[in-house]
Amino acid sequence: MTEPRRDAAIRVEGIWKIFGERSRQAMEAIRRDGLSKREIRERFDCIVGVRDASFSVGRGEIFCIMGLSGSGKSTLIRHINRLIEPTAGTVWIEGENVSAMGAEALRRLRAEKIGMVFQSMALMPHRTVRDNVAFSLEVRGRPEEERIRTADRALEMVDLAGWERKYPDELSGGMQQRVGLARALAADPAILLMDEPFSALDPLIRRQLQGTFMELSAELHKTTVFITHDLDEAIRIGDRIAIMKDGVLVQIGTPEEIVTRPADDYVADFVAGISKLDLVTAARVMVPFAAYVQAQGPQDTTGWPVGRPEMKLNELVDLAVATDHPILIAADGEPVGVVTKRALLRGIQGRDEERAA
């Protein structure tokens, strides 16, 4: 939300998607009278897939979109490479207006700048793993020798060297999605679009692939839009998270912001069960040092454990168990705040009353 506009790799502005024959009329009616989703279905027989979505993704950022099934995530992400035409709104990729592109420019953008991974994997069953991975190069007419070299390198990145000549149905589900990832990475695109890439996999395999993805991502710094219906996954992977409900982006923020300051009851319900230990920082639960001194009188802080403001609750617990004193939070050698045991426990619970009191 606070991204400088110029540096955004992807900027989505006021996207609406209304499915149905009479989507134009429905759009006008919404603009005029502000109809609800249900009224639109009854009056125009149209379905509102995405409702006025705006966000931007900075270069190299991982942007998660989280929401329940049917909330419009797949519809929204398909606007970025224009697999779906918006009813209203504009998408910009690195300053270029995707909505205004001609057919050939759009195909070039898809083949060279954007890689996509699908929940259903969507590999081509009649092509070898290598030919699947090299598909985007093949449609751009690259020579065979380059296609093989590029595909094999991409397969190596996802630990599938040696499987080039196999067919997709000879691979396990997890390996198939590795192929999907390799296909998205093959053309070395600047942007990755991932539509619930790991949702169809067993929990164990899912963890493995998340690991592979995060390693690659730390190495390659691709701008990524990552869709998931799993908040844990969103928190683990995302630099920022957008929560989507019924086609609306209800909140966009860092994982810590989403968890500690949910925008409404819907988000609050969602994040209620999330562990705050590795998410919330000392800065969020501490009492400012001046306020503490004012309330408790001057303090002798020798012997107090000292933490930093960006320390997670988990690390503060480690400091706290060793002593009976509160934890002193210091930045650049200056004390800036105090975390009492009570504030720490409340912080783990996700409640804020110590600060409010």
Partner 1 sequence: MADKAFDWLNPFASVNLGIATWADGIKQWAISNRELIQPVKQFFETVIVAIERALQATPPLVMLAILVLIAWQTAGRRGAIAVGTCLVVLGLLAPEAWGLAMTTLAIVIAAVILCVAIGLPLGILAGKNDRFEAAIRPVLDTMQTIPAFVYLVPVVMMIGIGNVSGVIVTIIFALPPLIRLTSLGIRGVNPSVVEAARAFGASPGQILRKVELPLAMPTILAGLNQTIMLSLSMVVIASMISVKGLGNEVLRAMGRLDAGKAIVGGLGIVMLAIVLDRITQGLGRSGRDRGHRHWWETGPAGLVTALFKKTT
Q: Token digits for 54? A: 């705006």
CA 9 to chain centroid, in Å, comes to: 14
Q: How far is the CB of 177 from Mg ion (least distance, A)?
A: 15
Q: Does 105 bind partner 1 (CB under 8 A)?
A: no
- In the numeric block, which tokens belong to residue 207? 């963890």
Q: Among 170, 232, 269, 310, indicate the residue that binds partner 1 (CB under 8 A).
A: 170
The tally of CA atoms less than 13 A away on the side-chain side of residue 76 is 36
- Residue number with CB closer to partner 1 (163 or 289): 163
Between 74 and 210, CB nearer to Mg ion? 74
Using CB distances below 5 to 8 A depending on partner kind, what does residue 118 bind out of ligand ADP, Mg ion, partner 1, none?
partner 1
- Say whether residue 228 binds Mg ion (CB under 5 A): no
Counting contacts by CB under 6 A, is residue 86 touching ligand ADP? no
Name the residue number minimizing CB distance to ligand ADP. 74
Q: Which tokens belong to 171? A: 């691979």
Return the closest-CA partner of residue 332 out of 309, 301, 356, 298: 309
Task: Tell me the β-bridge partners of 287.
Answer: 338
- List, in sequence order, every beta strand (DSSP E) within 103-220: 114-117, 191-195
- Beta strands 334-339 and 306-307: pairing type? unpaired
In the complex, the smallest distance separating the C-beta of residue 107 from ligand ADP, rounded to whole angstroms, is 22
H/E stretch holding 242 reads strand 240-245
Q: Is 74 in the site for ligand ADP (CB under 6 A)?
A: yes
Q: Does residue 23 touch ligand ADP according to CB under 6 A?
A: no
List the one residue from 16, 118, 226, 289 that touches partner 1 (CB under 8 A): 118
Q: Does 112 bind partner 1 (CB under 8 A)?
A: yes
Contact flag: residue 81 with partner 1 (CB under 8 A): yes
Instruction: Out of 74, 81, 150, 210, point to the residue binding Mg ion (CB under 5 A).
Output: 74
Binding partner 1 (rule: CB under 8 A), the pick from 12, 66, 98, 116 is: 116
The bridge status of strand 191-195 relative to strand 114-117 is parallel
Give the number of residues written for the chain.
357
For the bound state, the minimum distance from the C-beta of residue 89 to ligand ADP, rounded and expressed in Å, comes to: 15
- Total of chain residues touching partner 1, rule CB under 8 A: 29
Q: Give the interface segment with partner 1, choosing from 22-30, 61-69, 119-127, 236-244 (CB under 8 A).
A: 119-127
Q: Which of 39, 52, 138, 257 binds partner 1 (CB under 8 A)?
A: 138
Angle between helices 23-33 and 37-44 (to 10 degrees): 130
Beta bridge partners of 328: 306, 338
Looking at 56, 87, 136, 212, which residue binds partner 1 (CB under 8 A)? 136
Q: Among candidates 207, 187, 189, which has minimal Cα distance to 198?
A: 207
- The site string for partner 1 over 189-218 (x = CB under 8 A, - otherwise) reads ----x-------------------------
CA atoms of 17 and 323, how far apart (whole Å): 57
| Cα–Cα dist 227/67, whole Å | 8
Please say whether the beta carbons of 115 and 132 come within 8 A: no
CB of 49 to partner 1, least distance (A): 16
Binding mask 26-65 for partner 1 (x = CB under 8 A): ----------------------------------------
Kindly tell me which of 168 and 347 has the beta carbon lying closer to partner 1. 168
Q: Please tell me whether residue 185 adopts helix, strand or coil conformation.
A: helix
In order of 93, 101, 110, 170, the CA distances from 104 in angstroms are 16, 8, 10, 35
Q: Six-digit token pair at 246?
A: 């019924």
80 CB-side CA count, 13 A: 30
Binding region for Mg ion (CB under 5 A): 74
Binding region for partner 1 (CB under 8 A): 81, 83, 103, 107-112, 114-116, 118, 120, 122-126, 135-136, 138-140, 167, 169-170, 183, 193
Binding region for ligand ADP (CB under 6 A): 19, 47, 49, 67, 69-75
